[in-house]
Amino acid sequence: MGRPNDLVQGTLGLLILKTLSLEPKHGWAIGKRIQQISNDVLQVQQGSLYPALQRLEQQGWIRSKWAETETGRQARFYSLTAAGRAQLEKEREMWLRLSTAIDLVVES
Amino acid sequence: MRWFDRMRKSVSTLFRRHSETARLDEEMRFHLEQEEAERMRNGQTPDEARKAARREFGNPTVLRDEVRRGWNWGWLDTLARDLRFSTRALMRAPGFTVTAVAVMALCIGATMCLFTVVRSVLLEPLPFHDPDSLVMVYEHWRASTSGNPYNPVAPGDFYEWRAQTHGFADMASYHDSSLTVSGDHGEMPEMVAAQKGTWNLFPLLGVTPALGRTFREDEDRVGDNHFAILTWSFFQRRFGGDATIVGKTIRMAAKPYTVVGVLPAWFVYPDAQTQVWVPFADGETVERLHEHDNHYPYVVARMKPGVSLKTATDEVSALQYRMHVRYAGQPVAEDAISRPIIDDVVQDVKTPLLMMMSAVACMLLIGCLNVSNLLVARGAARQKEMAIRGALGAGRFALLREQMTETVILCGCGGGVGLLVALAGTTWLKLHWRGLPRASSIRIDLTIVLVTFGVVGLTAILAGLLPALSATQRGVLEGLKDASRGAGVGLSRARLRKALLSIEIALTVVLLLSAGLLLKSFVQLQTTDLGIAGDHLLTLRYNLPMEVYTKPEQSVAFSQSLLERVRRLPGVESAGLGSTVPGAGWDGDQVFIVPERPNYESNKQPDAMIRYADPGYFATLGVPLIAGRVFSEHDRLDQAKKVIVSEELVKRYYPGENVIGRTVVMGTDITNKKRTYEIVGVVGNTLWRVGERTKATIYFPVFSGETGYRSTLIARTSGDPLRYAVAIQKEIAALDPQLPVVEVLTIPQIVGQSTVNQSFSASLVLVFAGLSLLLAGVGLYGVLSYVVTQRVPEIGIRIALGAQRGQVLELVLRDGLRPVMSGLAVGIGGGVAVGYVIRSLLYQTKPLDPIVFAVMAMLLLTVAAIASAAPAWRASSIDPMQALRTE
C-alpha cells in the first residue's frame, strides 16, 4: 500500500527535516533528494510525504509558502523553522545513538 | 514562535479547510506533473509516464484522508455529521421536538432564574470592603421566647460597647427614621425614608461617597447644626443629579441640613427605600442617646484581624451583663450575640429562596424524567432502525453517541430558550418581589450562561443516557426478530418507563404537598382576623413636624379640624385618628408598672405596645369596646392622663380583675406622676401584623396633644374607599399645604404588603407544582399509550377470546395506576419530610395538614385518571380482527 516500511515510517520526519535544513524545497524535490542522496536505497512512497509534511507543519517544525518554481509554476515550498532546527538536532542525536547501538549488536 | 506556527496551522485547517484541501490537491497535482515530466525526459511515453507517476504516488484519496486526520479536527467532522443527522431526525418528529424543547426550556429557564436570584442575593459577597469580617451585634435576652434571639441594641449600650471593648476593630450603629423634605420655594413636600448612622459607619463599611465626603466625628453630636448624605437615587430623583448640591443646604423637618456628600449608586444598604442619611445624634437629646432601656438601633462591627468572632462577642457580652446588673429593673438584656452581616441582610428571604430553588430543581428533574420518557418511547419506535444499523456494522458507541447528540440538541435548544425565560423571570421577580434585599445586584452574566451550559449537559445526561443505553443494548438479531413478531415487545422498556414515571410522580406529589401547605398558610394569613372590620376603610399617614407644631394646642387644633372636615365629606361615614392601624406594624412598646404590684423580677416588667387613638378611632375601625368607655372630647391636653387597654393586657397582667379606674405608671419610676394614667376602658384585641401573636396594648388619647409619633387618619366610607383618597388629601392640604401624606392604603392593601413574601413563595411553588403535575400527566399518558400500542395484538386476542370491554379497560387502567400509586406513596413520605423542613414558613398550618394531603392526593389521582382514560378507552375499543391482522 501507500505506506513506507516501518523503519522509514519512524524516520521519515528526520529525513525531511534534514533535507530541508539546506534550503526550502517543494514536496517532489524533497522526495527526489532523499532518493538521490541515499543512492536510491530509500525509496519513499512518494504520496506518503504529504501526510508527513502536514504533520511536521502542524508541529511547527516546518513552515510552508507558495512560490514560483524556476519553470514559473506555483508550488508549495517548505522551509525549516527555528524549532524545526532544534528538533532536527534532537532526532539526529537519537538516530545516531540508535544506529550505533544497532551496529554494536549486529557487528559483535 | 512555535506555538504561534502551530496555532496558525490549526486555525487555518479549521476555518479554511476547503481551501486547505484545495491547496493539498494542487500540491499533489504539481507533484504528479513533475514526476511525469521527469519520466518523459528519461524517455518514457506520456501515457507510461502518467501511469508510473500515479503508481509511485499511491492512492491520493487515502493520502488526503490521512492528511485530514492529521489536522486534529477529525472529531469535528464526526460531530458535524452527528449534528446534521440528529437535526434531520428531530425535524422529522416536530411534535416530539417542540414538546421536549418546550419542557426543557421551561424547566431550565425557571431553574436558572431562581439560581440567578439565589446567587446574587445569597451567595455573592456584599459590595463592602472585606465583607467577610463584617458582623452584626445584637442584644440577647436569656428568657426570650419570640424565636428571634437577635434584639436591637439600646443606644446607650452601643456607646458603652464601643468605648469599653476592644475585640472589634470598630463598631458603628444605625437605625431607621423618616424625614419630611420640603423646599424654600414651595416645592412639593414629601416624607422620605431616612437612616441615622454614626459617623464611622461609612468608613467602617469601606464606602467611599460618589460626591463630597461622609460625616465627620464632630458632625455626629447633639446640637443645632444639621448634616445629611443623599443616596444616589434620591440625589437623582429630587435634585436631578446636580452635583453642586454638595455643600448647599436642603430643608428637612423644617430645618436646614447641609449636604456633605452623595452615596454611590450601588450602595442600597440597609434597604433600597432609604433616601437620605443623617448623623446618629441628629435631632436627639443627650439623654435619649444614653438610654439603656429603649432598643431600636442596629450595630455593625468589623472584626479585628487575629481576634476570633467568639472572643470579640464574648467581651461585649461580658460588658452587657455588667450593664444588666447595673441597671437592674430596667429592660437591659443580659448578653450580646453576633452573626455575619450577610446572614442579617438575607434573613427573611433565605428559607423561601432556598425552598423555591429546591422546587424548581425538582421541576427540572421532573422535566428530565419526562423527556427521558419521551425518548424511551422514541427509542422503541426506532428499534428496527437501530437493529439494522447495528447489523450493517455501526458500533454501539457510535449509535449511543448519535442518540446523545439528539438529547444534547434538545437540551441545548431548551437551554437557549431557557436563558430567555430566565431573563424574563428575573426581570419580573426584581420588579414584583418587594423587599427582596440586593435586588439591584441581580443580573444574568457570563457565569450564569456558563452554569446554564453545565445544566444543559447535566440534563442531557439525565434525560438521555438511560434511554440511549436501553435503545442500543439489544442484540441485533433479537431486535430484528422482535420487531417482526410484535407481541411482548419492549416489556423491559415499559418497566423502565414505569419506574421513571413513579419517580416523576413522587416528585410531583412532594411539590404539590409543599405548594398546598404554603397556599393554605397564605390563605390563613390573608383571612386572619385583625380584630377590626377592615372593609371600606381608607388609611392615610402623615407626621406633624414637632418643629412647626410646637405647642400641644396646635396639634390638637389641627387634628380636630381635620376630623371635622373629613367627616363632612359626602360618602364618609365616620373618621378616626390614631398613631397606626392594626396590621400596619409594631410602632413601639413601653414597659409600665401596675402600682398594686410594683416589684418585678428583672426583665419581667409588664410591657405593652403603644398606640394613640381619638374618640372615633375604635368605632371607625370596628374594634369592640369590652368595658368602660372610649376617649371623649374632654380627654384633652392636661385632662388627658387616661388610657384604654386591650383585653390581652387585662388577661396578662390583671387576670380576673376589674381594671376600670385603676392606674398604671409608664416607665420604670413608680413615683413619676407625669406618667401616671387612669384606665378608662377595655377594648378588643387587634393584631399588629398578620402572622404575629397578639400583644398587650395601651392606647393614649390623641388629644393629649403630644407629637412626634406618626399619625394615621382612618375613614370609613360607603363604597370603594380609594375613591375618597383625593378628596381627603385635599382637606389635609387645605389645612397645611406643607404636610406630606404617604401610604394612602386600604386595610387589604396593608395586609397584602405584609404578606407579599408568603404570597410570592406560595404562588411560585404552586406554579411549579402545577407545571409538574401537567408534566406528570403528559408522562403518564405517554407511557400508557405506548404500552397499549405494544399490547394491541395481545388485547386483540383477549377480546377475540371473549374478554369484556370493561375488563380490558380495567386491565389498562390498573397498569397505568400502579406506578401512580407507588409514586404517590413515596411522594407522601417525602411531602411529610418537606413539610417539617418548611414549617417555619407555615402560619397556622401543620406540616401534616390532613386537608392539604387529601386534596393534593385527590388532585393527582384525578389527573392520573384523566391521563389514563384515553389510552384505556382506546384499548377497550380495539377491533380484534384489525388487531390480529396487523400482526
pLDDT digits (tens, 9 = 90+) for B800-852: 888 888 888 888 888 888 888 999 999 999 999 988 888 888 888 888 889 99
Q: Is the pLDDT of residue B215 over 90?
A: yes
Inter-chain touch B67–A1, beta carbons under 8 Å: no
Cell of A82: 527555528
Q: Is the pLDDT of residue B230 over 70?
A: yes
B72 contact residues in A (CB cutoff 8 A): 58
Inter-chain touch B71–A83, beta carbons under 8 Å: no
Q: What is the mean pLDDT of residues B384-390?
A: 78
User: Please, which residues have CB within 8 angstroms of residue B518's CB and are 6 or more apart in sequence?
Assistant: B758, B761, B762, B765, B766, B838, B841, B842
A61 contact residues in B (CB cutoff 8 A): 2
Q: Which amino acid is at B540?
A: L
What confidence tens digit (pLDDT) does each residue in B449-474 have? 999 999 899 888 888 888 888 777 65
User: Please, which residues have CB within 8 angstroms of residue B355's CB and are 6 or more apart in sequence?
Assistant: B514, B761, B765, B838, B841
Give the minimum alpha-carbon distance from B3 to chain A in angstroms, rounded to a whole number.
7
Q: Which amino acid is at B247?
A: G
Please compute, for residue B282, the number of CA atoms within 13 A of its CA located in the half-sphere on the CB side: 32
Inter-chain touch B30–A28, beta carbons under 8 Å: yes
What confidence tens digit (pLDDT) does each residue in B276-306 have? 999 999 988 898 899 888 888 999 999 999 9
Strand partners for B193: B178
Mutation to test the B interface, candidates A28, A30, A42, A53, most B Cβ within 10 Å: A28
Cell of B462: 439525565
Give the minimum alpha-carbon distance from A9 to chain B in angstroms, rounded to a whole number.
14
| Cβ neighbours, 10 Å, residue B353 | 19
Domain residue limits, chain B: 2-72, 152-332, 350-525+756-886, 545-738
φ, ψ for residue B672, nearest 5 deg: -75, 100
Domain interval for residue A98: 6-107
Q: What is the CATH number of the domain that holds A72?
A: 1.10.10.10
Inter-chain touch B30–A46, beta carbons under 8 Å: no
pLDDT value at residue B73: 65
More confident residue, B676 or A39: B676
Q: What is the mean pLDDT of residues B84-88?
A: 87
User: Taking chain A, what is the end-to-end CA distance rounded to the nearest angstrom?
Assistant: 35
Q: Is the pLDDT of residue B149 over 90?
A: no
Cell of B589: 412598646
Q: Which of residues 662-681 of B touch A (CB under 8 A)?
A: none
Cα(B665)–Cα(B431) distance, integer angstroms: 47
B42 touches chain A (CB under 8 A): no
Report how many domains make up chain A. 1
Report percent pLDDT > 90 for chain B: 31
Cα(B88)–Cα(B102) distance, integer angstroms: 19
The beta-carbon neighbor of A81 closest among B5, B57, B59 is B5
Inter-chain touch B27–A47, beta carbons under 8 Å: no
Strand partners for B300: B136, B172
Q: What is the mean pLDDT of residues B33-57?
A: 87
**Helix axes B491-526 and B446-472, enclosed angle (nearest 10):** 140
The beta-carbon neighbor of B31 closest among A27, A60, A83 is A27
Task: Provide the H-helix boundaries in B527-575.
Answer: 552-568
- Strand A62-68 vs strand A74-80: parallel, antiparallel, or unpaired? antiparallel
The beta-carbon neighbor of B28 closest among A50, A58, A63 is A50
Task: Provide the H-helix boundaries in B693-804.
Answer: 725-735, 747-754, 756-800
B26 contact residues in A (CB cutoff 8 A): 74, 76
Q: What is the mean pLDDT of residues B346-352?
A: 83
pLDDT value at residue B602: 59
B9 touches chain A (CB under 8 A): yes
pLDDT value at residue A39: 78
User: Please, which residues have CB within 8 angstroms of residue B239's CB and are 6 or more apart in sequence?
Assistant: B230, B245
Per-residue confidence band for A3, with pLDDT thresholds at 50, 70 and 90: very low
Which of the 8 DSSP states describes residue B618? Answer: H
pLDDT value at residue B438: 83
B28 contact residues in A (CB cutoff 8 A): 47, 50
If we measure between CA atoms, which residue out of B406, B753, B712, B384 comes closest to residue B559? B712
pLDDT value at residue B475: 57
What confidence tens digit (pLDDT) does each residue in B522-536 have? 888 878 888 888 788
Inter-chain touch B58–A63, beta carbons under 8 Å: no
φ, ψ for residue B564, nearest 5 deg: -60, -45
Mean pLDDT is lowest, of B381-390, B500-509, B641-650, for: B381-390
User: Taking chain B, what is the end-to-end CA distance rounded to the nearest angstrom?
Assistant: 69
A13 within domain boundaries: yes
Which of the 8 DSSP states describes residue B150? Answer: -
Inter-chain touch B30–A1, beta carbons under 8 Å: no
For cell 506555483, what's the residue? A74
A55 contact residues in B (CB cutoff 8 A): 70
The beta-carbon neighbor of B6 closest among A2, A60, A73 is A60
A1 within domain boundaries: no
A77 within domain boundaries: yes
Inter-chain touch A74–B26, beta carbons under 8 Å: yes
Give the minimum alpha-carbon distance from A103 to chain B in angstroms, rounded to a whole number.
32
Q: Which of residues 19-58 of A touch B (CB under 8 A)?
A: 26-29, 31, 45-48, 50-51, 54-55, 57-58
Inter-chain touch B59–A75, beta carbons under 8 Å: no
A68 touches chain B (CB under 8 A): no
Inter-chain touch A54–B70, beta carbons under 8 Å: yes
Cα(B134)–Cα(B190) distance, integer angstroms: 34
Report percent pLDDT > 70 for chain B: 95
User: Please, which residues have CB within 8 angstroms of residue B474's CB and are 6 or more apart in sequence?
Assistant: B383, B386, B387, B482
Residue pair B579/B587 in contact by the 8 Å Cβ criterion: yes
The beta-carbon neighbor of B27 closest among A27, A58, A82 is A27
Q: Is the pLDDT of residue B482 over 60?
A: no
| Cβ neighbours, 10 Å, residue B865 | 16
Q: Is B484 exposed, middle or buried (0-12, 13-18, 19+ CB in 10 A)?
A: exposed
A27 contact residues in B (CB cutoff 8 A): 27, 30-31
If we measure between CA atoms, which residue out of B824, B831, B871 comes closest to residue B848? B831
The beta-carbon neighbor of B35 closest among A45, A46, A60 is A46
